[in-house]
Structure 1
Amino acid sequence: MTTTSARGGVAAPFALARYRDGNSIRLGLVAGDRIRPLDPQDLGAAGLNGFLGSPDWNRLEDLAAAEGPWISLDSVTLTAPVEPRQVLQTGANYRTHVIDLVVAGLAKDDPRSPEEAREWAGKMMDDRQANGEPYFFIGLPACVVGDDVPLALPPYSQKHDWELELAVVIGAEAFRVSREEAMAHVAGYTIVNDITTRDLVFRRDMKEIGTDWYRGKNAPGFLPTGPFLVPAPFVDPARLKVRLELNGDVMQDATTDDLLFDIPALVAAASQNMPLLPGDLLLTGSPAGNGAHWGRLLRDGDVMTGSIQGLGTQVVRCVAEQAAGEA
């Protein structure tokens, strides 16, 4: 059975989701166009992260085939399908995206043509892939929301941008694991749109400090996530289509085979400093086609529709956050 709904197709027999139930949020099992609540006795664990630490997918497969308190998926409001304690983000991890950034950043007095710069950047990325390491920074778990929450665009900037990304959901705790061990610590996958305020990424007051990811990426709701958590056994992350539309126009359209560092490499590298905990998110980077590339950043009323093959579709609606003192 393929899980389908207005949220897009999920090429899996079942998936996990979280949905609003009055003033609370419940964990649910999605199968087809239905969802049923999951209680601790269903999971065999105290909660979602406890289950993900040692996921028993056979247990959920049996529930997906059983009679029970099923309701229509379209009758509930889904929210973020995860509750991470840590969010790690990967920068500059799509080959084409990085090459585009290099070419776009050419100084006016650079003697190279765009084609020459692209060739140079391509060789640099090939060398980085062969000899380099992934680049990580930290996001705030408080920024993780579902697409049921409108994206409020802060008034301190007019340069908020999108970055649709495949996100790894960690299963069993991973600490200093090898590349060969890494996939045993992946519970599943979801979709994250990593919103970025472009003019705050680099410090103006002290350029030597470099990037300021806290101010550039961490505002309320800046990590729209979901709608589903799809179990790892049902996903081949090596060549997934990643697509984002802005008001119906295609802005990002790529596949994950353009990643410089693949999922095993990312999980292994990220685990070397701190343990990755069950339920944590590891974002894998964004492909080419961000707003900075198109010269079109987010505005009040914009609608972003992001989909990743087999993981469903999220629809994020943008609203202008009112500045202090505005009526």
Structure 2
Amino acid sequence: MKLLRYGPMGQELPGILDSTGNIRALRPIVRDIDATVLSLEGLRFLGALDVSKLPLVSNPGRLGSPIGAVREIIAIGLNYREHAKESGLPIPSEPVVFGKSTSSISGPDDDILLPPGSEKTDWEIELGIVIGAVARRVTKEVARQYVAGYCMVNDVSERAWQIERGGQWGKGKSFDTFTPVGPWLVTGDELDPNALDLNLQVNGRTCQQGNTSDLIFDVDAVVSYVSQFMTLMPGDLIITGTPAGVGLGMKPPKYLADGDVIDMSVTGLGTQRHAVMKAV
């Protein structure tokens, strides 16, 4: 299944893609794509629906994040070998974990707003894992049973705030619009998360090309590791790191500017397009 949310920001409605790629309305069957829907029971309920009989959404307008109420964003850093190298940092022996504010979440085609005075805002295409069951100290062997599905995420990062303002990464990654998610959440039965191509272009120039087979810590390892020290809940979002090709790693570094356009795609997870502009 491909689950999504459509409508104006803050007023999004739940939907599902049918076999022809059209959006079907899930309201009033479900209130939102939330923890209840993303639980294993909720997904089984949706999987039993005849999607072709649901109301057709002929003019959905804007797409929002496909997850309605994210409790946590847990981010994994330096999780592709070549990205760690381009950052000038050693390959991690354990996952590097940090947090992002949920207020940074935006839709897959929403504008990215440069913070006032920012000269080092960067792009990072990532695979997102959406949790579907309460996970505490789970093993790698069963970790996939706790996953509702996957989505594409741009972990936008203001490098000066991330690196030069005391070394707390979340400060550079939590500005408004800095976590575009979507367009869809694809349930775990529809794809292999360890064999996905990731591609990001800025103004038509390819900057990032990678595959999740190059992850240092794969989906199973990440879910298991994080669950050792925190309880994961349905609807929690884990973003798994970015391949090489970020602006910080270029020589000289190159960052986003007003008027830039970012295009992103991940196998099976759709596309994103963002206009970059200065925040008012």
TM-score in terms of structure 1 length: 0.79
Q: Could you say if the C-alpha distance between residues 176 and 17 of structure 1 is closer, same or farther in structure 2, counting changes exceeding 3 Å?
A: same
Partners in 2 of 1:75 and 1:68 — Cα distance? 14
Q: Which residue matches 1:304?
A: 262
Partners in 2 of 1:194 and 1:262 — Cα distance? 18
Partners in 2 of 1:166 and 1:218 — Cα distance? 18
Q: Which residue matches 1:93?
A: 79
Q: Which residue matches 2:143?
A: 182
1:286 to 242, 247, 269: 242
| 1:78 and 2:63 correspond | yes
Q: Could you say if the C-alpha distance between residues 148 and 254 of structure 1 is closer, same or farther in structure 2, counting changes exceeding 3 Å?
A: closer
Partners in 2 of 1:215 and 1:33 — Cα distance? 38
**Can you give the 5+ residue segments of structure 2 that lack an aligned partner in the other structure?**
none
* Mapped contact 1:55–1:171 kept (Cα < 8 A): no
1:60-111 Cα deviation digits (max 9, x unpaired): 3443543231123x64321110121000000110011112222xx8xxxxxx
Aligned runs of 1:112-127 on 2, under 5 Å?
Answer: 125=91
* Mapped contact 1:78–1:146 kept (Cα < 8 A): yes
What is the CA distance between 1:292 and its match in structure 2? 1.5
2:279 to 305, 309, 321: 321
Q: Could you say if the C-alpha distance between residues 153 and 47 of structure 1 is closer, same or farther in structure 2, counting changes exceeding 3 Å?
A: closer
| 1:197 and 2:150 correspond | no
1:239 to 168, 171, 195: 195
1:253 to 209, 221, 226: 209
| 1:25 and 2:12 correspond | yes
Amino acid of the structure 2 residue aligned with 1:296: K
What is the CA distance between 1:202 and its match in structure 2? 2.5
Partners in 2 of 1:201 and 1:316 — Cα distance? 22
Amino acid of the structure 2 residue aligned with 1:229: L
Q: Which residue matches 1:118?
A: none
Query: Whose radius of gyration is greater, 1 or 2?
Result: 1
**Can you give the 5+ residue segments of structure 1 that lack an aligned partner in the other structure?**
1-13, 106-123, 205-209, 323-327
1:30-68 Cα deviation digits (max 9, x unpaired): 11221122136x35x886211212245454344354323
Q: Could you say if the C-alpha distance between residues 46 and 77 of structure 1 is closer, same or farther in structure 2, counting changes exceeding 3 Å?
A: closer
Partners in 2 of 1:217 and 1:59 — Cα distance? 35
Q: Could you say if the C-alpha distance between residues 218 and 168 of structure 1 is closer, same or farther in structure 2, counting changes exceeding 3 Å?
A: same
* Mapped contact 2:134–2:233 kept (Cα < 8 A): yes
Q: Which residue matches 1:4?
A: none
Question: Per the alignment, in what secondary structure is the counterpart of residue 244 of structure 1?
Answer: strand
Q: Could you say if the C-alpha distance between residues 66 and 244 of structure 1 is closer, same or farther in structure 2, counting changes exceeding 3 Å?
A: same
Q: Which residue matches 2:224?
A: 268
Partners in 1 of 2:182 and 2:35 — Cα distance? 16
Amino acid of the structure 1 residue aligned with 2:64: T
Amino acid of the structure 1 residue aligned with 2:26: L
Partners in 1 of 2:143 and 2:231 — Cα distance? 12
Partners in 2 of 1:98 and 1:64 — Cα distance? 45
What is the CA distance between 1:303 and its match in structure 2? 0.9
* Mapped contact 1:55–1:187 kept (Cα < 8 A): no
RMSD of the TM alignment (CA)? 2.1
* Mapped contact 2:70–2:236 kept (Cα < 8 A): yes
Question: Per the alignment, in what secondary structure is the counterpart of residue 126 of structure 2?
Answer: strand
TM-score in terms of structure 2 length: 0.91
Amino acid of the structure 2 residue aligned with 1:272: Q
Count of residue pairs the alignment pairs up: 276
2:36 to 46, 50, 57: 50
Q: Which residue matches 1:110?
A: none
1:259-309 Cα deviation digits (max 9, x unpaired): 000111100111112211111100000100001123221011111111100
Amino acid of the structure 1 residue aligned with 2:243: P
Q: More helix per residue: 1 or 2?
A: 1
Identity %: 37
Aligned runs of 1:116-155 on 2, under 5 Å?
Answer: 125=91, 128=92, 132-155=93-116
What is the CA distance between 1:173 and its match in structure 2? 1.1
* Mapped contact 2:6–2:62 kept (Cα < 8 A): yes
